[in-house]
């Protein structure tokens, strides 16, 4: 039994060898307020390998839109700031969720930058804020960031 418990963490972490960073932040009471900026500090040490960036989102069935607009702000280790407005499509034209649905929750992992070359090692600060028409977006359970080595 002790062997199995010691072996389990190794199996869990070795199955996702491409992951460099991943963190999801829960939204208070399932609402993403327009005033709430979600921040992630990803340490990038290996800059020779290109990276893919994913926006993680978990929503429930009460989310009433088929898309999500997000303001993305990236602060590089040298202090330079890059801003962009991103649109994430969450449903197809028939209204079917594009993410994985389980038990009333929908999990999306949306590629938003492919094969990024980070210019220097260090801490990269990612900030996301919702810029939809509603100040309070109901049905948003978690927002996250994943950085992985590109193939």
Within-domain flag for 2 = no
Within-domain flag for 13 = no
Say how far apart CA 128 and CA 73 lie, in whole Å. 6
Say how far apart CA 86 and CA 128 lie, in whole Å. 10
Give the model confidence (pLDDT) of 66-119 as tens digits: 999 999 999 999 999 999 999 999 999 999 999 999 999 999 999 999 999 999
The strand pair at 136-138 and 31-33 is best described as antiparallel
Within-domain flag for 11 = no
pTM for this prediction: 0.86
Say how far apart CA 117 and CA 151 lie, in whole Å. 13
CATH code of residue 53? 2.60.120
Within-domain flag for 5 = no
- Structural domain containing residue 54: 20-149
Within-domain flag for 50 = yes
Query: How many domains does the chain contain in total?
Result: 1
Host H or E run for residue 2: helix 2-14
């Amino acid at each position: 039994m002790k062997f199995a418990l010691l072996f389990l963490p190794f199996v869990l972490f070795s199955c996702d060898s491409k992951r460099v960073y991943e963190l999801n932040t829960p939204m208070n009471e399932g609402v993403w307020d327009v005033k709430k900026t979600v921040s992630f500090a990803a340490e990038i040490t290996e800059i020779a390998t290109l990276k893919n960036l994913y926006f993680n989102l978990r929503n429930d069935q009460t989310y009433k839109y088929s898309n999500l607009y997000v303001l993305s702000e990236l602060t590089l280790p040298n202090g330079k700031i890059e801003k962009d407005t991103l649109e994430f499509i969450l449903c197809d034209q028939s209204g079917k969720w594009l993410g994985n649905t389980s038990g009333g929750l929908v999990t999306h992992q949306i590629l938003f930058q492919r094969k990024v070359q980070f210019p220097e090692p260090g801490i990269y600060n990612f900030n996301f804020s919702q810029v939809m028409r509603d100040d309070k977006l109901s049905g948003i359970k978690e927002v996250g960031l994943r950085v992985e080595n590109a193939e």
